[in-house]
Amino acid sequence: MSIYHDSVVDGEGLRTVIFFAGCPHKCEGCHNPESWNPCNGKSMTVEEILEEALNPLTQITLSGGDPFYQARSVKKIAKELKRHGKNIWAYTGWTLEEIKNSKDLDKVELLEYVDVLVDGPFLLSERDLTLTFRGSRNQRIIKLREESLT
């Protein structure tokens, strides 16, 4: 959909956030419902995304929509970002277990490039404004890699 620079609310440190269009979860109370439609936003090639996102001062967050909805393309982007030494956070409405047990190998492979996964759907009944980097208590922040930002 778009790329947002210099975020401090979408993961640790200063981050470039890549918002992907398309989300099957359609969570009630979603803060970005325009991202549900996979046709919304700006169409970009992998190369165009990398050119705009590869800022030496920021790390990367994959958001949406749901980046795992477009896992085949997003894994290519994530692989290149990792090659450039980027720390990658990803937000998804699926749980880690659902992704790992998925028959969609692109989703499973995308996990290989993610350092921190924020998983689970946003649940309005679990909304908690005091939480850091997530919107509802059911969502988990899962460190998948032992990499450090420092």
Q: Which domain holds residue 125?
A: 2-143
The tens place of each residue's pLDDT in the chain, 150 residues long, gives 889 999 999 999 999 999 999 989 988 888 888 888 888 888 888 899 999 899 888 999 999 999 999 999 999 999 999 999 999 999 999 999 999 999 999 999 999 999 999 999 999 999 999 999 999 999 999 999 876 443
Looking at residue 97, its pLDDT comes to 97
Looking at residue 148, its pLDDT comes to 46
CATH of the domain at 30: 3.20.20.70
Q: What is the pTM of this model?
A: 0.92
Residue 100 domain flag: yes
Helix axes 46-53, 71-83, angle to 10 degrees: 40
Residue 150 domain flag: no
Residue 149 domain flag: no
Residue 15 domain flag: yes
From 108, 107, 137, select the one nearest 122 (Cα to Cα).
Answer: 137
Which residues are bridge partners to 4 per DSSP? 17
Q: Work out whether the CA dihedral 108, 86, 144, 93 comes out positive or negative.
A: negative
- What is the separation, in whole angstroms, between the first and last Cα of the chain? 30
Looking at residue 147, its pLDDT comes to 61
Calpha distance 141→119 (Å, rounded): 7
Helix (H) or strand (E) holding 96: helix 96-100
Burial class (CB in 10 A: 0-12, 13-18, 19+), 137: middle
Domains: count for the chain = 1
